[in-house]
A and B are shown apart, each in its own frame.
Chain A
């Protein structure tokens, strides 16, 4: 196509959006290369697939962050992630100081770069934190040109951006069709059915149901005009702030049959938003579905057989702390969350709970700590989850936690169970302190082994070989500790060892963690400032941040 934007590479796209004179930060000549690819036999790129460019858009000071979809599927690894986070944080600093700068993110990305797995998740949660903070000053505009689209953790990013522009060549979804097929079977989603994919995840469908804000023609001029207007008019869809709407929508779904796309489009505009208040969990006679998360939630709050109006979401205030857990429910009306996955209802329900806590404490000097009990084996893999927009649900809880933390609530994650993928981004990774039990049963990763092998076109044996060289690829908590993100790895207490003595120990550690946040910045810097992170775990992150900071102003 003549003058196509989609056909351009990341650097050309950034140049096309900016007015003329541009300046690239930490470019290909700066030697900021992923240290994790070569050890796995993968050719790296000198800019790690992310272009940071400063200039003006229609005369206004702007930062364009452009992700190269053709390099490793636009996946976010440690270096590429740190480039984005550092640039957004500098933009935040400038805006705070009254030097207005408008960030635009060109999303052409599969999400977490699976070859750097846990680095991708950490980076993406840090991107979410920075975007939420920036939105207090300027709109953060998202552009999904295609062909990769915006998937995985970066679809959650897409949902929290102020305004989302896309072409017809793009798709937006949390889970790619191949991953859904791998995890839930071909009858749930046939990844060879191209019509199904485009009708479900394509931007035409997304525009009709509020998941993108504008679909533009694929020309440089049209796209630049739309971006420029979004900036000038400070457009903001507040997409992740509609928990009540979506919870009302979910009430209306007939879950006995597969939701048809046409029917959904008819249902969507008819939904009347009703207030949903998820009350504190109460005691009951019947034990809920057994899980590590439920066990620790019940022990920490003292509620026996905890029960809630949303069976998978438990919360309660105890000793001045708000505890939140996402738990399995063997009989749940949504089949894809029965093992404790974070699905449509879970993200919106958590958002509603956390937003209420923040509103209640708005005028208080000391904000209530929020403790997430994390045992999430993943997000829900399902067709209707994607059709409705599970990424918005996960974006809603991530945004709520980030806002709570930024408002001064200590947000602590306690991990006695699994912490995987989008589930972890939605419930866990927005905490400023992570506490985990040192138990071999804990899986902490970006994707199941089977799916990760399929997507990266490796065998499971090759995948396991890679984990020996790159700790971020591993699935266990001990390798995770090597990244430096943990506040504390608790030795000697197993996932299911919730004795009174152990519970009291954990409570003490949580209290210490809360204390450690007092008077400290309410961001996620702790993770790359621990001794392990500085020494080894986030060495590249810290080097990238330094380089971006040095080059920000000339």
Chain B
């Protein structure tokens, strides 16, 4: 198990908290919470050690496309980058549904 922390300069605050996914084999859950801070913090607990750079790349790409401002928690049980991206995008869809 490894704990990872990232920060991103973002600009679009979210209004509602969102939860997506399940901590199952090859899967993960992501939680977005509104924040008062002017940056986005991502805290990850992952069962697969040694993928710090891969996470960085996936998150860079995600925030380039969706520069949301939020507190983000991720509990990951060995998902591939594709699954991570899918869950993050699903969370975005859920956010948009609420609006």
Point out residues on A near B: beta carbons under 8 Å. Answer: 9-10, 27-29, 38, 41-46, 68, 70-71
Contact = CB atoms under 8 A, between A and B. Distances in A.
Contact of A43 (B17, B19, B76): B76
B75 A70 contact: no
Interface stretch (B5-13, B26-34, B56-64, B82-90): B26-34
Contacts of A70: 22-25, 27
Nearest to B74: A43
Contacts of B47: 42-43
A41 B1 contact: yes
Contact of B1 (A27, A43, A45): A43
Per CB-CB distance, the 5 closest pairs between chain A and chain B, nearest first, are: A70-B24, A45-B23, A28-B19, A41-B1, A43-B47
Nearest to B73: A46
A534 to B, nearest CB: 28
22 contacts: A9-B22, A10-B22, A28-B31, A29-B17, A29-B19, A29-B31, A29-B33, A41-B1, A42-B1, A43-B1, A43-B45, A43-B47, A44-B23, A45-B23, A45-B75, A46-B75, A68-B22, A68-B24, A70-B22, A70-B24, A70-B27, A71-B23
Nearest to B45: A43
Contacts of B1: 38, 41-43
Most chain-B Cβ atoms within 10 A of its Cβ — which of A41, A42, A45, A68?
A45
A42 B3 CA distance: 11
Interface of B: 1, 17, 19, 22-25, 27, 29, 31, 33, 45-47, 73, 75-77
Contacts of A29: 17, 19, 31, 33
Nearest to A49: B23
A326 B75 CA distance: 44
A455 to B, nearest CB: 15
Tell me which of A10, A42, A68, A71 has the highest count of chain B C-beta atoms within 10 A of its own C-beta.
Answer: A71
Contacts of A42: 1, 47
Nearest to A45: B23
Contacts of B46: 43
Given A44-B75, A71-B22, A71-B24, 5 more contacts: A9-B22, A43-B46, A43-B47, A44-B23, A46-B75
B33 A43 contact: no
Nearest to B76: A43
A46 B29 contact: yes
Nearest to B1: A41
A394 to B, nearest CB: 29
